[in-house]
Every structure is written in structure tokens, then in C-alpha cells.
Structure 1
């Protein structure tokens, strides 16, 4: 049977779906399928204070994580198959040789391209699938794509079109802002697992058990920087740059996720524990920035096709309250997200409200985000719509749009406490 693994806003889904891509039988029991996503939008964005240096407003065409997927199954025996997937990213708005950041020699082709998405090989069985390679862990959890298949329903955001800069899942649930110990203000932004595919992943995805499925994963080094057998600089001391905080072999990342979809109820629970591999500490940090995170959500879909959910995320980054004097205090914050959607015929509307609490109890370090969306199904796999996002940072907070500085030029020089808003006209075509 031709199968493909559904893509979820830059993520791997838990389960295999019947393919709508073009399948090709290349041998007895072996099939290859071509599928993917074209996602692009026209966007008007701006910041709404005057503290920012540089550009504060822009209109641009922007890619929303387009990709091409080649997947394959080869039968071993009844119920058992060899499987592989190659997901390659492309940008519909620029050429690979165009600068990813204005004025630099880092090109767009350096941040996307062949096999840059979830790419792995493995074995599927009557019990589940075991895969080895690059895989998205944690950060897309609770994004819902029930319009592709009921098994992919989830309690969080569920737009059929999206603006990747405006997804609250990325902008709020997956950001923690390190805090300056002296001023209590945010120092840039840290993203859960970098908001990208984790490398060196061994992953097991279960089959569906009457609405329940789960996933377990381990990576020795999800960042892919595997040459961290560094020695201390001669003058390095704890809390200063050049200090080796941990042996490479002492690190590692564990992930576990579970979902339930049956009837009108959808629920999700995820856990992540990352221990940094080797390397040196940045100045002001007392040690490695290990990360622990828990995310949970539940939703209910009423018979009138109204869906209401709630998502909670608690993330902590060790040693991320920093200053001139080394400290071991962690940067911690909690985020609540309330997504509401309603569909009728080929139309759907969406409202999502997200709120981040203060980081490590420092005053004025929280933020809120509001999303409003409308989309229309031109076919079962092609959607157009409008998408509005507004991020409001408190005076000492620093939450920024997803892909700031690479796909959205106006956010390159973002500053603490600034607000941001964007409206986009977008199209998604799953082929």
C-alpha cells in the first residue's frame, strides 16, 4: 500500500496516512510516493513602538515552510515494512543564493534545502514504527491537522492556512527569555530545541490503540554539533566564556509524547528533558543551559463544529538567569493558550489567545498574543485565507515572531518590550 507520513506545520505526525501524493511501484512490494506542501503568503507587518533601531514596517511575500517529501515502503513480510522518508525544504519567495540575512554571506540555501526536514529510515510493524534520523521533537506538539485525518486532531491551533511567523505555538509555547540578574529584563530569546528538526534521533511511534497513540525518542545530540571535545581555556573559570562545563558523553535528550482522539475529545501530553553535550559556557552563565519542558492540552468539538481547547506549557532553562556574577538560577515560565475554531461548509474561522507568565517571577516579563484567522477550502487539500497576529510584550519581555530575522526582515533588530503585529493573505496546497 502507498503511504506517506503527514507533515504538520514543519513536524512529523505520529501516524501513517493513505497517500494523496503520486505513488510509483518500483519493485515487488516496494512503493515510492511523492508529496508535499506549497505554503506562501503576502504579509504586512510592523512594530508598534519607537525604540527599535532600523526598519519597523514592511510588506513582503514570504514562504510558510514549503517542502517536498519522498517516502517509501518495502514489504518484508505481512505487517512488516522497511520505510524511509526524505523531506526537503524549499522557499517559494527567494532563490537559494539570496542572502538569508541582509548584508551577510549566509544564504537562504544554507538554512533550507535537500533533506533539511524530517528525514529518516526505519521499520514499521504491527506494533509501531522505529525510525533513525532527523525528527521534529516536542515544539510542534498540540498543533492540530484534523482536516487531513481524524487521527491527527489535537487540542491546539488548527488553521488550514497559517502564517508561520504568527503561530502562537512557536511564538509563545516554544520561547523562554533568559533574564538579566541585575535588571530583571529579558536578554534575547531561547527556543525549545531551536524550533527545528532534532538530529541523531532514535524514535518509536506506536500504532493507534482505540484512539490512543504515543511516541518515544532519544537523541545523543539533537543540535548536531558533535565535536565538543573541547578543553578549558587556560584562564577559564566557572561562569566565564571558555569554561568546559560537561563532558560531551554526559549529555543527551529524552522525549515522550502521547495523544488521545476519540469522539469529540482530543488530548495531548508531552515531556522533554535535554542535557547539553560538552562545550563551553557563555560569559555570565554558571553552567550548561539544560532544558526541561512539559506540555498538556485538551479540546472538545461540539456537534455544531465548534471546537474549544486549552494548552499549557511549562518550560525551564537551567542557568539562564544571568549577570556579571555567575548564578545557578533557572529561567522558568508558563504559557496558557486557548484556541477556538468554528467551521461551516468550506469556511472556517479561528481565534487563539496565548498568555506567557513572568519569567522566574521577574516583574513585567510576560506577554500575550492574539490570532484571528479565516480560511476557505478550494479543494480538500488547498486552502486560502487571511491571518492576523498581534504580540504584546510587557516592558521587560522579549517574545518574537517565528523565524525572526531570516524570513521576516523587519524583526532583525527586535528589542525588549516591543510589540508586533501582522496581517497576511496565505495559501496552503498539500499535494
Structure 2
């Protein structure tokens, strides 16, 4: 591998911003300091640029196997790297669902051959695969995923005894999608009675409402408290749910953690008028009061990490009527730029952003030697130019689906370089796919 020397960067790491050089050798950070003069195969002059630890996105849907008309691990990993996301954890609701050790391994094999980013995959739980779930290796797999709410697909776990068994026996973090299925069904019946097949998409947050989210999250937390389970609740979308989480202890000591996704911070119910089903997702984008509360929850540490729930569908699929249009939004390429907009607006500091997108995911999932700019750690690094505007367009969208609800948006910052496990995978709009990402490991 090339020896790479990054010079004169504004290094954002562990709560500070300092001017520093970083030497990368054999895939790892060999030295961090000033005036490093080591020989290198490539030197990057980072004067005027900010150097961040690579973003770790703990919730993506890359659609392979079985749904490759929407996306592939290769295409979406490339999009991730273009946006400064160096590591991802992918969900099990592919086709077939990743609910056996063999099917889970198939996804790792695909990623080893095609993923430009570092990777891990969740083991999926169902009502009847407990024995398979219990075989999952805690040191080589990121976690167990439970859909406590059907979302998109057929992985709803609603058997009380199954949930008790998983929560009591799991050796890995359990990540849950929390929406109460019965509440959603009851609401849907009311809206079908009112509108028939022509339900307006803006009714989505009323059908998948605050009560559905809170009820399911509350139940998951009670189960975790009962069994002392390591629980992580994905994509919190409501102000009400914030009351369920603690911020009076360090993240390292939390047994129950929570995530917020960029779209729940960025969009609100008014955006359905212009974007329609483009922002239809589960849990739903809701009224503006929620995104304001979620940002505050991020700042006061009730919400522990930022993710995307990246979930691409084809443009044609998204054009169907409300009940036909699938839920999910492609976001992984632009999550870092979205959060840098919050930084520009003074709503978030660079240090806090890096904490929530890089450090905290590494802590929360016990990721081995990633998430920080530290000597000896894997060199997952991102350079950003905070003074170089970037407009999202068809020409620069890397998602296989070819569209984004952010098209036409001009961001204040541009991702210029991304190093993945010491490999310069992306530089000034050009990819180098001569080396793939690494499988993440976990200290458990």
C-alpha cells in the first residue's frame, strides 16, 4: 500500500481542532504531529482543509442480494465513500433476508469483493430463527436487527416469547426499528375509509404517528431493562421518545442508546408538499417541532449517534400512489454535507458533529481501532473544504437509483478526499477501486 502524508490539515478529533500532519502507512495512522518529514508515495497538501475521522454509518440498506435493480453493495459503498462515509453497517431485509449464518456470510463475501468502504452486516431476527441468531459471533458481526414494526419487507417480530428469548440471551447489541404495528394498522384503516386508494402522502406521519413510535420504543426499553440487554434504538423521530433516554452517564456506560437520522433533522411535514413520496420513510418525517427537539436531543446527548437509514428505491417505484410507493430515502452520499450545513448555521460544532458521526458509533458498537485519528488506528480519514460549495445534481449522484431528494441543493462544503483503511479511495471526484474496504471487527 502507498505511504500517504497529509500536510497542514485542520484536524478535528476528540473535541479539539489543531493544525497537524498525518502519516499513513500499511493502512494505519503511523504518526500524527507537526512538521512530519517522512518519505511518502503521495503527499496531500491539506492547507485550508479540515481532516475528520471517517464517518461510520450504522444503518444502511444496500439492497444486495435480491434487490439489485435498486442498488448494489458496490454502488452504494462508492456513494458512501464519495460522501466521507468510510464504514457502514447494513441491514438484513435483503432478498433472501439475512436470517441464517449462511445467508449472512453471503453478504460478507459480496462486500469483500466489491465494497470500497469498510463493512459489517446485521444478523436478522424473525419469529422463528432464534437458534441461528444465537450462533452469531460478537467479535465479527455488528449486531442483531429486530423490526418491531413491519417497515418495508416481511421481518416483523411480534411474538412476545421470541422477543423475551432474544433480549434475554443476545450477546451482541440488539438494534431495533420501533413502530407499533397495531397502531399503524388501525390508523391506516381510518385513512382508507376516508380517502380510499387516494391517501395523500402528507398523511404518512399521521398514519405512522408519534403514538406508534413511543409505544414500541417504550416496550423495547422495558424488555431491555428487564434482561439487562444492550439495546440500540434506531432512527428516533419524535420529541416524545426523547423522554425515554438518559444523558446523565457517559456513552461507554449506557446499556440503552439511541440514534437520529439526518432526514429527521433536515425535513419536516411541510416538505411533503414539494417532495411527496421522495421523503416517505419509516418512521415518518413528522411536524417541524420534532426536528427541533431531535437536534436538541443530539446536543444534550439523549441521542447518541447520527446515521442515514439510507434506503434507495427506483424513481419509478417512488411514483406510485401512497400505499404503493415504498418507504426509504437515499442519503448516504450527503449525510456529512447535511450536517456540515448545521455547522455553518451555528446549530452544531464541528467537534460535536465528529463525536456523533465517528467517535460515538465506534464506542457504541465497540468497533476495533476505528472512529478516531489516533496512531495505530486504521486510517479512515476524510478531508473537507468548508469553503467550496457543492450542488447536488444528476451528474454527481453516485446512487444506482440516480436520484436524491436533495437535488438542486447547494451545500457550503465539499468532500475532497476519503481514505478507507489507508487506501485513498476517493480524491477530487475520482475513485480508486484497486483496493476494497475491510471487514470491521468488534472488541466484545
Q: TM-score, normalised by structure 2?
A: 0.24
Higher relative contact order (CA 8 A, sep 6+): 2
Task: Answer 1 or 2: which has greater strand percent.
Answer: 1
Question: Normalising by the residue count of structure 1, what TM-score does the alignment of the two structures yield?
Answer: 0.25
